[in-house]
A and B are shown apart, each in its own frame.
Chain A
Amino acid sequence: MSEKSNETIKIKAAKKMRDLMTTYYLEALSAAQNNKQVAWITSGGPVEPLVAMDIIPVYPENHGAMIGSAKMGEDLCAKAEDMGYSSDLCSYARADIACSVVKGGPIGGLPKPDMLICCNNICGTVLKWYEVQARFYNVPLFILDTPICHTGYSPEIARYVRTQIDEYIAFLETVTQRKLDHDRMNEVGKLSLEGQRLWQKVLNTTAHKPSPMSAFDAFFFLALIVTLRGTRIAVDFYKELIEEMEQRIKDGISSIPSEKYRLLWDNLPIWHRLKWLSKKFSDHHACLVADTYTSAWCGTIKYIDENNFLDSMAEAYTRIYLNIGVDQMADGVLDMIRFYGADGFVMHSNRSCKPYSFGQMDIMKIVREKAGIPVLMIEADMTDPRSFSQSQVETRIDAFMEIIKQKEKRI
Chain B
Amino acid sequence: MKQIEPFYEAVNHIQDTALKIQKTGRKIMGYLCSYAPEEIIHAAGFHPMRLFSSKSEIILAESHLQSYCCSLVRGILEDSLAGRLDFLDGTVFPHTCDSMQRLSDIFRMNGKYPFFADVVLPVKLNTKSARTYMADVLTCFKNDLETATGHEITDMDLKSSILIFNQIRKNLSLIYDFHTKTPGIITSRDLYALVKGSMIMDRKKAAELLSCVVSHLERLNPPANKGKRLILSGSVCDTPDIFDAIETAGGVIVGDDLCTGFRWFDGLIPEHRPPLSAIAARYMDRIACPAKHSGLLTRADHLVSLFQKNKADGVVFLFLKFCDPHAFDYPYLKEFLDKQGIKSTVFEMDDRQQSLGQFLTRIETFIHMI
Contacts and interface: CB of A to CB of B under 8 A. Distances in A.
Interface of A: 83-86, 88-90, 93, 120, 123-125, 127-129, 131-132, 134-135, 141, 143, 145, 147-148, 150-151, 154, 156-157, 159-160, 163-164, 167, 325-327, 349, 351, 354-355, 357-362, 365, 379
Given A125-B324, A147-B122, A358-B66, A326 B105 contact: yes
A145 B69 contact: no
B4 interface: no
28 contacts: A83-B331, A85-B327, A86-B348, A88-B324, A89-B324, A124-B324, A125-B98, A125-B324, A127-B291, A128-B324, A131-B328, A143-B123, A143-B124, A145-B122, A147-B95, A147-B120, A150-B101, A150-B105, A150-B108, A156-B133, A160-B133, A160-B136, A163-B132, A325-B105, A326-B102, A354-B98, A361-B64, A361-B66
B227 interface: no
Contacts of B325: 124, 128
Contacts of A156: 133, 136-137, 140
A89 B348 CA distance: 13
Contacts of A349: 66
Contacts of B112: none
Given A85-B331, A88-B322, A358-B65, A141 B296 contact: yes
A365 B118 CA distance: 23
B66 A357 contact: yes
Interface in B255-309: 290-291, 293, 296-297
B106 interface: yes
B331 A327 contact: no
Contacts of A124: 96-98, 101, 123, 291, 324-325
A128 B95 CA distance: 16
Interface string B33-67: 00000000000000000000000000000011110
Contacts of B296: 131, 134-135, 141
Main secondary structure of the interface of B (DSSP, over half): helix
B322 A132 contact: no
A325 B121 CA distance: 16
Interface residues of B, number: 50
Contacts of A360: 66
A127 B69 contact: no
A338 to B, nearest CB: 21
Nearest to A328: B105
A355 B98 contact: yes
Nearest to A124: B98
Contacts of B105: 150, 325-327, 359, 362
Contacts of B106: 326, 358-359, 362
A163 B325 CA distance: 26
B347 interface: no
A327 B293 contact: no
Nearest to B130: A145
A362 B64 contact: yes
Contacts of A151: 108, 118
Nearest to A365: B63
A120 B122 CA distance: 11
Contacts of B101: 124, 148, 150, 355
A25 B321 CA distance: 37
Given A148-B95, A160-B129, A325 B120 contact: no
B45 to A, nearest CB: 24
Nearest to A157: B120
B345 to A, nearest CB: 12
A135 to B, nearest CB: 6
Contacts of A141: 296
Interface in B98-143: 98-99, 101-106, 108-109, 118, 120-124, 127, 129-130, 132-133, 136-137, 140
A81 to B, nearest CB: 10
A327 B106 CA distance: 9
Contacts of B329: 128
Given A145-B130, A349-B66, A354-B69, 7 more contacts: A124-B97, A128-B290, A128-B324, A151-B118, A160-B122, A354-B68, A358-B65
